[in-house]
Amino acid sequence: MMRSGVIAKKIGMTRLFMEDGKQIPVTVLQLDNLQVVAQRTNDQHGYTAVQLGAGNAKVKRVSQAMRGHFAVAKVEPKRKVVEFRVAPENLIEVGEEIIADHYFEGQFVDVSGITIGKGFAGGMKRHNFGGLRATHGVSVSHRSHGSTGQCQNPGKVFKGKKMAGHMGSVRVTTQNLQVVRTDSDRGIIMIKGAVPGPKGSWVTVKDAVKKPAPENVILPAALMSAKREAMKAAEEAARQAEAEAKAAEDARLAEEAEASIEAEKKEGEE
């Protein structure tokens, strides 16, 4: 039942005050022109997936090859393109727009993003090492990592030893975050807690893999076309109801008028 995830832009964090007095820290994510750019099918590629694109890119900054790719899909050039594996029955038509109703309030999701880069960081910051002592003869190396191995045997530093080095700007997935609120008009998804990456960065949101699949998710995805149709249907229904109400009102008025005319007639006869 694997369905597509979404690409979202991290806008920033704020808090929500609940009726029961609780405060919830939330990260605000926004869907920006999220459209299906291409499909991967079993026949052609050996697996099924949808390629989504988000954001708006200036045409002159898009490579000729990607311009062609977007032209085939008949979509505007996108800033960010990501592929999501989906089950064959959950493939989405190219050009369809996904909206924020894709997730419901209370649902658990996994969010992936590129973390904020910290540059070259020491052992204390990078791996939570304790450092050396402040006194008792320690000189210059208060924040060093200390020993990195044993003696002549093995006589080397083991591969993967935690040391100083580059920290951050790696892809990190935070699992089992809860969706607190969604707003499909503005394309906003509010997620409880923090999400990897700086403000303005792209993150991908997927249904949580470590939770049972929720029953009331929209398959294959919450689409703009479906929403438009629903709105049109609702409008149509409202119009119909209005017309009916008007017709009933007219009938009632006509009846009343008739009744009054008859009453007048009777009065005249008398």
Q: Kindly state the number of chain residues that form the binding site for other proteins, as judged by CB under 8 A.
A: 16
Token duo for residue 8: 């979202």
By the rule CB under 8 A, 30 interacts with other proteins: yes
Positions in 105-134 near other proteins (CB under 8 A): none
Q: Which is nearer to other proteins, 30 or 174 (CB)?
A: 30
Q: Is the Cβ–Cβ distance between 180 and 193 less than 8 Å?
A: no
DSSP 8-state class, residue 221: -
For residues 174, 179, 182, 188, the Cα torsion angle rounded to the nearest 10 degrees is: -20
Q: Please name the residues in contact with 122: beta carbons below 8 A apart, sequence gap of 6 or more.
A: 129, 143, 144, 145, 164
CB of 16 to other proteins, least distance (A): 7
* CA 179 – CA 174 distance, rounded (Å): 13
**Residue with tokens 């005050």, as numbered in its chain:** 17
CB of 189 to other proteins, least distance (A): 12
CB of 132 to other proteins, least distance (A): 34
* CA 93 – CA 187 distance, rounded (Å): 20
Q: Which is nearer to other proteins, 22 or 210 (CB)?
A: 22
Q: Across the strands, what pairs with 143?
A: none
Q: Which is nearer to other proteins, 10 or 80 (CB)?
A: 10
CB of 22 to other proteins, least distance (A): 8
CB burial readout 150-185, b (16+ within 10 A) else e: eeeeeeeeeeeeeebeebeeeeeebeebbbbbbeee
CB of 78 to other proteins, least distance (A): 20
By the rule CB under 8 A, 61 interacts with other proteins: no
Site track 128-167 with other proteins (rule: CB under 8 A), x = hit = ----------------------------------------
Site track 6-25 with other proteins (rule: CB under 8 A), x = hit = -----xxxxxxxxxxx-x--
* CA 147 – CA 8 distance, rounded (Å): 44
CB of 148 to other proteins, least distance (A): 44
CB of 84 to other proteins, least distance (A): 25
Positions in 168-207 near other proteins (CB under 8 A): 186, 188
State the Cα angle at 50 between 46 and 53, rounded to 5°. Answer: 140
Rounded alpha-carbon distances, angstroms, from residue 43 to 5, 37, 86 = 22, 18, 15
Q: Which is nearer to other proteins, 186 or 228 (CB)?
A: 186
Among 6, 7, 8, 28, binds other proteins (CB under 8 A): 28
Q: Which is nearer to other proteins, 31 or 75 (CB)?
A: 31
Binding site for other proteins (CB under 8 A): 11-21, 23, 28, 30, 186, 188
